[in-house]
Structure 1
Amino acid sequence: MNWKTLDNLVGEGRHKMSLYARQLVAVHCADLMQSLDHLGASLFFSPFIFVPNVDSNSVRLALTAQTLAVSGKLSTAIVAHTNELGHVFVPSLGYLKTPIPNGEVSLRANHGAEWLVDVGGTMESLTIEPISCTDPFPFGVIEHSTTLFGNDIIGDDGSQICLTDGCVAKIGAPIEMLQALQQISKNQPHLFSLIETSVDYFVMVDHRVMRSCTTESLPGIVFVAAINRLSIPYFIEEIAHQCGHAIISTISFGKNVFFLEDENTPLSNHSRNPRETRSILVALHGAFTEVISALALYEYLLSGSDVSSDDRLEALGRMTFALKKYTVDKQNVCAITTLTPLGRSLQEFVLEMGDKLLEETVELRAGVNVDQQIYDFDFDQFKLNNGYRNLG
């Protein structure tokens, strides 16, 4: 396997998503299919169509945003639910500002330029607040809560998380996040191509547990934690890691393609560590995301960019810690004996890239102490453990 093969596999996964989205639209909005049936399958793709237990009005809203530019006026009324600000999120377009917070509104759309809301029997024109974007990159940034997500997002602790309960950070993409995207696109164009294909929106969240559900229920959407230290190295790792989950989930959309057994089989069935609680799929995800995160950070260190001493130190620490976690997951992934040919090919790709990074960074990592790091990298703790006392 190589980067080009991965790119092709992600493209095939997106196509499968589009076909499935088309089927969902046919179920929820059969009356629209007659006029829209001639449209290509890819036009039906919107991450918000995939939300578990989504209602037909949410599908209509998502579909309206996808098709207005092609098919013109869609005047059928759409019932939507506003958030605490009175906003209705319209995929691909923005936030419609209504005078009704936490309520139900009836909307009509004309070519995407004019949106009307029924207020007491009178149709009033609405203004639209555009979705933030990662200009010049083609990703939308969701920075307000949206009821389109519903209550079906599951965190890694098994609990339900609702994006209308204050998890969405009230910020657009921080400048450091844009700079991180620029660094990845410049230093790792193969990885960035995979990200462009598999990701539509970044959701800025201030709840760490949210990150674990990336693409499980919402393909094309990546959750980015905007908490604690917001630096270029932080966002390089966060973007690479979370998008890595999106890449693998896109390839395997709708089908177990990596294993000859249930992908939720406990890793402890293969690993010698009886305390291992993850599944074999999660272990494969882990090794892949750790390696591409370390790779993105390594390329940043080698880029010759104008990197501050703190950012260079943080990138070195994050890369070292990612590779330390990889050495553990390498043993776990190697222990899995039920891989399909595609799973084996992905395993070999990850191991080859990870082992090469370990070899190339031996001198760079010499003397770097990450022993006190637990799971999420703590830069202040890292500086303290490596003899840097100026933590302000």
Structure 2
Amino acid sequence: MAAPDGGCHRGFSNQNNDRKMRGQALMAPAGHLEFEGLLGERRIAARSELAQVIRMLSTENLPDVAKVDAELPVDAFFEPRLYSQLAVPGFESMTLSQLTLSKASDQSGSRRVRTDKAGIATFPGIGHIATGMPDADLTATYSPAKQAFSFPAEDGVEKWCEVRTSTFVPNTQIEIIEHIDPVLVNFLEQHIDAPENLKIVDNPQRYVESISKALGLIDHAGPDFHTALVESLQAILLFQHPSAESFAALGMHGMLFLNVPADAGINYFVEEITHQGGHVLFSEATLNRGEFFIAEPEAALSDFLGDSDPRSIYDAFHGLYTEHMESQIVLAVLDRELGVDGLESAFRRHLDAVLLRHARDLSLIGKFTDDIFSPLGKAVFMQFQDSYDHVIKENPHLLGVALHA
């Protein structure tokens, strides 16, 4: 768990139309329902709904809200840690001032902040500071010009702490996490076995270029999907763990958790950002789950299949979407020869694996669409099926993959 370099001391010495048309042609073959028309507006409406709910819960449950809340724009409440912190009653390890300072129109003035057991105070979107005061409840004043926080000292001399500034993926708001703060500690303890074996990768900044290039490939392959990703993704935590899988979760909505292999390259980040980022987007689009199902969304899929499939209906629906997007994006990257020299074999192996899973899930769930889905849910399912059929028709060399499903 990384510690910052910064310390304290006394005193202070439009995507163009052609690209959009190409993306739409890929995601919605001629003669089929246009996918963004089914889910795009719902995703945008759900983001607004989520932000308003988190604003309300923050007002009710977090301290210092009376002073802070009025000045904050809606997008301040997309901060992923707010979701997690508010989901655990009585768990308050970072203040609203800390979590939303980067979005405040006026960042001056004194604010209440809390440090962790290492004396570090984290400010998402700004960075973190090493105060030397563990588990402390402090009053701090931020100076954007100095990129530092000041604290009143007992001897009357201000104590200044310089910020170790956040690292972002270029041309996005996506922050690369460099310190595991208490909210993340609590969240990871609930979502990963043996969380004590998790550590942030050494020098996370070294992956920024690969992540940026991966997003560039996704943009060329599916501009609308890329636009949604960079709107909804707030942060990525790059970690290493002997057994944990990469994941995204509504409890830390907008953050991706990627277990990075030693040989991770651009292809890895294309695949994982599409997959895990797809979960984030689909969670937004299906926030009102009842609109998509006539069966209980959390019902076991095995109740319909008659086998031991461990997934819920809703989890399987998520899987269909991520399989759909991965196959569409990776196929477009390969077909358009988007500067992936040396990575073609890795992309093709991944495409084969995804199409195999997708064909299997479409076949399994397709037998029970009348029992599972509402008309809207069935329309979304048919988009998955039609897009898959279109891929096989236009790429007959992939038919062998389907026959093995």
TM-score by length of 1: 0.81
Cα distance change on mapping 1:57 and 1:175 into 2, 3 Å: closer
Q: Distance in 1 between matches of 2:403 and 2:211?
A: 24
Corresponding residue number in structure 1 for 2:344: 312
Corresponding residue number in structure 2 for 1:189: 223
Match of 1:134 among 169, 176, 181: 169
Deviation at 1:61, TM superposition (A): 1.5
Corresponding residue number in structure 2 for 1:93: 126
Deviation at 1:130, TM superposition (A): 1.7
Taking only aligned residues, the RMSD between alpha carbons, in angstroms, comes to: 2.9
Deviation at 1:39, TM superposition (A): 4.6
Secondary structure of the structure 2 residue equivalent to 1:60: helix
Is 248-257 or 296-305 further displaced after alignment?
Answer: 248-257
Q: Distance in 2 between matches of 1:359 and 1:312?
A: 21
Give CA-to-partner distance per residue, 1:342-380, whole Å, 9 cap, x none.
Answer: 3223212222222222332332x4778999xxxxxxxxx
Match of 1:62 among 83, 96, 99: 99
Is 106-115 or 197-206 further displaced after alignment?
Answer: 106-115
Deviation at 1:301, TM superposition (A): 0.7
Q: Which amino acid aligns with 1:278?
A: R
Deviation at 1:231, TM superposition (A): 2.0
Q: Which amino acid aligns with 2:252?
A: L
Match of 1:296 among 329, 334, 341: 329
Cα distance change on mapping 1:8 and 1:233 into 2, 3 Å: same
Deviation at 1:332, TM superposition (A): 2.9
Corresponding residue number in structure 1 for 2:283: 249
Structure 2 residues not aligned, in runs of 5+: 1-32
Matched, 1:71 2:106: yes
Q: Distance in 2 between matches of 1:175 and 1:357?
A: 31
Deviation at 1:107, TM superposition (A): 4.5
The aligned length equals 359
Contact 2:63 2:95 in 1 (8 A): no
Deviation at 1:71, TM superposition (A): 3.2
Match of 2:357 among 313, 317, 325: 325
Deviation at 1:259, TM superposition (A): 2.1
Give CA-to-partner distance per residue, 1:83-137, whole Å, 9 cap, x none.
Answer: 5xx533211111223335x643525133544412467776411111121111123
Runs of 4+ deviating beyond 4 Å: 117-123, 158-162, 366-371
Contact 1:317 1:370 in 2 (8 A): no
Q: Distance in 1 between matches of 2:96 and 2:376?
A: 34
Higher fraction of helix = 2
Following superposition of structure 1 onto structure 2, how do residues 19-168 of structure 1 map, counting pairs within 5 Å?
A: 19-29=52-62, 31-33=64-66, 36-37=69-70, 39-51=72-84, 52-53=87-88, 54-55=91-92, 57-67=94-104, 70-83=105-118, 86-100=119-133, 103-104=135-136, 106-110=138-142, 112=144, 113-117=147-151, 123-153=158-188, 162=195, 166-168=198-200
Q: Which amino acid aligns with 1:360?
A: E
Contact 2:166 2:176 in 1 (8 A): yes
TM-score by length of 2: 0.79
Contact 1:73 1:110 in 2 (8 A): yes
Contact 1:194 1:247 in 2 (8 A): yes
Deviation at 1:17, TM superposition (A): 1.2
Corresponding residue number in structure 2 for 1:7: 40
Secondary structure of the structure 2 residue equivalent to 1:246: helix
Corresponding residue number in structure 2 for 1:177: 211
Query: Higher relative CO (CA 8 A, sep ≥ 6), structure 1 or 2?
Result: 2
Matched, 1:237 2:274: no
Contact 2:392 2:399 in 1 (8 A): no
% identical equivalent positions:
17
Contact 1:206 1:226 in 2 (8 A): yes
Q: Which amino acid aligns with 1:342?
A: L
Q: Distance in 2 between matches of 1:35 and 1:184?
A: 37
Q: Distance in 1 between matches of 2:34 and 2:199?
A: 37
Contact 1:89 1:148 in 2 (8 A): no
Q: Which amino acid aligns with 2:315?
A: V
Deviation at 1:317, TM superposition (A): 0.9
Give CA-to-partner distance per residue, 1:11-37, whole Å, 9 cap, x none.
Answer: 112101110111122112465336633
Cα distance change on mapping 1:35 and 1:292 into 2, 3 Å: closer
Corresponding residue number in structure 2 for 1:351: 385
Secondary structure of the structure 2 residue equivalent to 1:354: helix
Cα distance change on mapping 1:117 and 1:257 into 2, 3 Å: farther
Structure 1 residues not aligned, in runs of 5+: 372-392
Q: Distance in 1 between matches of 2:48 and 2:235?
A: 18
Deviation at 1:141, TM superposition (A): 1.2
Contact 2:94 2:183 in 1 (8 A): no
